[in-house]
């Protein structure tokens, strides 16, 4: 089974090292890890409109231009939607498998997206039509609820904040659950190790937990 992630170089250090560890980890469990980028999202016919709309929505909600990071968080869903393989798994490249296999996915529907870490979209399972539906929902639901989102949004309006702010609408259309045997080495965790950057700490923890040199 393929597992896709999304990566654009937006200036974070050591990302290629984390990507290599991500590929090594998922390969060891029999998956075929594939890294997508902006070039893949551009293959989708909705690309230009999506980019224009997400920049406009972000400006209306937050009063400022969208950051490169938050833009990538949204754009990845279009890159997934542009794929021909179906269904498949997608994850952030800092999400690691600690013990689940293909059999897990027999119970999931491919006609929708199954978010597997509750409201955090760091790992999910679905098909290209489902990912396209979600990308379009990001635009439509956000446009329809701008004023309410402005009142309740506390964080940058990336895809996770979109889910959090609109969960009452999304929960009847998409599946949200929590699977076991994954580890998320999030960039936003409060890591505290002196004389190491956040990225160096993440690499250190991944190698430690999986006993890699």
Distance from C-alpha of 178 to C-alpha of 151, rounded to nearest angstrom: 28
For residues 183-211, give the mean pLDDT. Answer: 66
Residue with the larger pLDDT of the pair 107 and 152? 152
Residue 213's pLDDT is what? 45
Confidence of residue 185 (pLDDT cuts 50, 70, 90): confident
Between CA 123 and CA 206, with CA 197 as vertex, the angle to 5 degrees is: 45
Residue 101's pLDDT is what? 75
Residue 191's pLDDT is what? 45
What domains does the chain contain, in order, with CATH numbers? 2-209 (3.90.550)
Render pLDDT for 33-84 as a digit per residue (tens, 0 to 9).
999 999 999 999 999 999 999 999 999 999 999 999 999 999 999 999 999 8
Residue 137's pLDDT is what? 98
Enter the pTM of the model.
Answer: 0.90
Residue 172 has pLDDT above 90, yes or no: yes
Distance from C-alpha of 17 to C-alpha of 93, rounded to nearest angstrom: 11
Distance from C-alpha of 91 to C-alpha of 184, rounded to nearest angstrom: 10
Residue 189 has pLDDT above 60, yes or no: no
Residue with the larger pLDDT of the pair 109 and 46? 46
């Amino acid at each position: 089974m393929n597992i896709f992630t999304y990566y654009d170089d937006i200036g974070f250090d050591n990302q290629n090292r984390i990507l290599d560890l991500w590929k090594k980890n998922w390969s060891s469990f029999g998956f075929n890890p594939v890294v997508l980028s902006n070039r893949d999202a551009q293959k989708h016919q909705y690309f230009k409109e999506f980019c224009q709309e997400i920049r406009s929505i972000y400006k209306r909600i937050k009063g400022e231009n969208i950051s490169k990071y938050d833009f990538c968080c949204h754009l990845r869903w279009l890159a997934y939607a542009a794929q021909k393989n179906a269904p498949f798994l997608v994850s952030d490249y800092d999400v690691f498998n600690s013990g689940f296999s293909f059999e897990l996915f027999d119970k999931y529907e491919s006609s929708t997206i199954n978010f597997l870490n509750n409201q955090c979209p760091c790992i999910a399972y679905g098909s290209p039509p489902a990912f396209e539906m979600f990308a379009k929902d990001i635009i439509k639901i956000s446009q329809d609820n701008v004023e309410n989102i402005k009142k309740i949004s506390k964080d940058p309006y990336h895809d996770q904040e979109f889910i959090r702010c609109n969960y009452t609408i999304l929960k009847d259309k998409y599946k949200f659950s929590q699977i076991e045997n994954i580890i998320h080495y999030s960039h936003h965790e409060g890591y505290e190790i002196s004389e190491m950057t956040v990225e160096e700490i993440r690499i250190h923890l991944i190698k430690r937990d999986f006993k890699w040199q």
